[in-house]
Chains A and B, each alone.
Chain A
Amino acid sequence: MIRQTKMTVTENISIARDIFRLRLSGDTSGIERPGQFVNLQLEGLFLRRPISVCDWDSDTLTLIYKTVGKGTNQMSGLRPGAVLDLLSGLGNGYDTGLSGDHPLLLGGGVGVPPLYALAKQLIHEGKQVQAVLGFRTGADVFGAKELSALGVETTVTTEDGSLGQKGFVTDALPKEYSFFFACGPMPMLKAVWRACPTSGQLSLEERMGCGFGACMGCSIQTLSGPKRICREGPVFRKEDLPWNG
C-alpha cells in the first residue's frame, strides 16, 4: 500500500566504505514485504531517490545506501532530527511462500540490505537460511555479522580475496538449497540466474522517474510482457526473466 509520509532521521552513520545506515522514525504502515522500497525527496533535487528497505518495525525504518552520486552524497549529510518526505510501501517484495524449507540468499554489494528483513521473516517462518554475500574488497563488507546473528549460515566472498572466500557469489554457492533470493548489480544477477539450478526471485534496479508506476521510466521486457521495475517489480521470478543466451 503506497503511503506518502514524513519521517524523522534518528541515525545516519557510515558502516563500510561509502555505505551508510539511515534510521528513520515515523509511519511505516505502507511496508508489507521485504524487498519493497521507499522513494525519498531530497532538498533541491527534482526526482526522488529510490532506496530498498533493509528493515522495519511499526515505527522505525532502516535503510542502507551507498554514496554513488548527487542524491546519495546529499543523503550522507542528513543529521538526526531532519525530516524527510517519502513515498513508502513501493513495489512488490519477495514472496517467502516460495522459499521451500532451506532457501539461499545471494547479495552483491549494496544489494545486501533487503536480504536482512527477508532473512528475519524466513527465520521467523522456521526456515533454515543460508547466505552468500559478495563484495569487491574487505573494506566494502557489511551485513554479514547481522545475518549470522539472526541464525543465517553466512559466507562472504570478495573479488580480491581480502576477506572471506576469493571470487564471486557464484563461486561459493552451497551444494543444496530449496530456492534462492538475490539482490545485487545486474552482472551478478545474470550470473546467479545462469548458475542456480533451483527456482528463485531476483530484485532488479533501474533509474526511476516516479517509483510508483506512472511514468514507465523503468520498464523491462519479461516473458509475460512488459513490466515496471517499480510496480510489478523490483522482485521478479527467475522464470519470468528473458535472459537466455
Chain B
Amino acid sequence: MERLKVNLCGIPLDNPLIPASGTFGFGYEFAELYDINQLGTFSFKGTTREQRFGNPTPRIAECPGGMINAVGLQNPGVEKVISEELPRLKAVFHKPVMANVSGFSVREYAETCALLDREEQVGWLEVNISCPNVHGGGMSFGTDPASAAEVTRAVKNVTTKPVIMKLSPNVTDITAMAKACEDAGADGISLINTLQGMRISLLTRKPILANTMGGVSGPCVFPIALRMVYQVCRAVRIPVIGMGGISSAEDVLEMMMAGATAVEIGAANLRDPLACVRILDRLPQVMDQYGIGTLKELK
C-alpha cells in the first residue's frame, strides 16, 4: 500500500513497522504465526562477537503497564548467526533484515559489524551502545558522547551498509548522544532502548531479577520515549527510528508526528505475538480517521 511506504536510510520499506531487537528472535517463532514479510523489516536478536548465555534467571519481572528484563544479550555469536540463523531466516523472510549488534569494546563492535557487512540479507546495522565498555571502567558506551562517537566511527569504517546507532535513554541529555553519533558519521538513530529499573519481591524481600536491575519497556515508557524522539528529531538531520512502548496504530502515528521516520515495536510482541500485524491492519483506518493521506506527509 503506497500510503504506508517510507524510506529508511536509502532503503525503501513497505511500511514503517519494525519489531525491535530482543522481542522477535530471528523471526521464526513469529513466522509460524503469520507471514512476517508483511512487516517493514525486523531487527534481529542482539548479536555479539562471541556467544553469550546471558544473565541467570529470573530475567523477567512485571510492572504496571510493562515489564523489566535482564536477559543479558543471550545469543549464539556472530559466526553462528551468519552460518545458521541467516540461512534459516532466508526461507521465511525475503526482505533486507536489520542486524542488531552489541559489544563490550570498540574492536568487538567493529569485528562483528565487519562480518555482518558481507551478508547480502542484512540491510542496516543497528548498533546497540547500551552495554558497558570493558575498557572504560564498565561505563556504558551509550552514556558518554565520545565513546558513542568512537563506536560509530569504528563501525562506519568497516561497512558500506547504513549504520543506525541505538541510543540508551539513561542519560541526562539525549540530544548530545545523538549529535555525537551524527557527527561521527551515523546514517540514522534509533531510540529508546530500555530504561533502567527494578522490582523487589515482598515475599523474599529481595530483588526479583537475578541481575537486580533490568530494562523497563512497554506502554509505561511511551511518553518518555516520545519526548526523547521529539528532542532528537529536532537535534539531528539523519533519520530517526522511534521506539518505546508502542502498542497501537495510534502510537505509531504519534511517534511519527514526533519526527520518527519508522518505528520499532518491542514489548507488545511478547504480550501478543500478532501485535505487529494487528497494528499494521489498523493503520490505514486510523490514518483515515485523522485525515492522514500518506505517512510521508507526516515528516
Contacts and interface: CB of A to CB of B under 8 A. Distances in A.
Interface of A: 1-2, 4, 41, 45-48, 70, 87, 206-210, 212-221, 226, 231
Nearest to A47: B62
Nearest to B19: A214
B22 A215 contact: yes
Interface string B242-273: 00000000000000000000000001011111
Contacts of B270: 47, 209-210, 214-215
Contacts of B198: none
A221 B53 contact: yes
Given A207-B57, A214-B29, A46 B274 contact: no
Nearest to B266: A215
B71 A217 contact: yes
A212 B60 contact: no
Contacts of B57: 206-207, 217-220
Which 8 residue pairs are nearest across A and B when measured between Cβ atoms?
Answer: A210-B270, A217-B60, A207-B58, A209-B60, A213-B29, A216-B74, A217-B59, A207-B60
Interface of B: 22-25, 29-30, 32-33, 45, 53-54, 57-67, 69, 71, 74, 208, 218-219, 267, 269-274
A47 B67 contact: yes
26 contacts: A2-B33, A2-B273, A4-B274, A46-B62, A46-B63, A46-B267, A46-B271, A47-B60, A47-B62, A47-B271, A48-B271, A207-B59, A207-B61, A208-B60, A209-B67, A209-B69, A209-B270, A210-B23, A210-B273, A215-B60, A215-B270, A219-B53, A219-B54, A219-B59, A221-B53, A226-B53
Contacts of A221: 53
B49 to A, nearest CB: 17
B102 to A, nearest CB: 14
B45 to A, nearest CB: 8
Contacts of A210: 23, 269-271, 273
Nearest to B220: A46
A45 B54 contact: no
A212 B59 contact: no
Nearest to B219: A46
A47 B45 CA distance: 20
B29 A46 contact: no
Contacts of A2: 32-33, 273
Contacts of A47: 60, 62, 67, 270-271
A87 to B, nearest CB: 7
Contacts of B62: 45-47, 70
A27 B73 CA distance: 36
Contacts of B30: 214
B74 A226 contact: yes
Contacts of A218: 57, 59-60
A150 to B, nearest CB: 33
B60 A214 contact: no
Contact of A213 (B25, B54, B67, B74): B25
A219 B74 contact: yes
Given A214-B23, A215-B23, A4 B218 contact: no
Nearest to A69: B203
A207 B207 CA distance: 14
Given A4-B33, A206-B58, A219-B57, 15 more contacts: A1-B32, A4-B272, A47-B270, A87-B273, A207-B61, A208-B60, A214-B23, A214-B25, A214-B269, A217-B57, A217-B60, A219-B53, A221-B53, A226-B53, A226-B74
Contacts of A41: 271-272
Contacts of B32: 1-2
A209 B62 CA distance: 9
Contacts of B58: 206-207
A214 B271 contact: no
Nearest to B269: A214
A216 B46 CA distance: 11
A109 to B, nearest CB: 16
A134 B257 CA distance: 58
Contacts of A207: 57-61, 208
A214 B24 contact: yes
Contacts of A213: 25, 29
Contacts of A206: 57-58
Contacts of B67: 46-47, 209
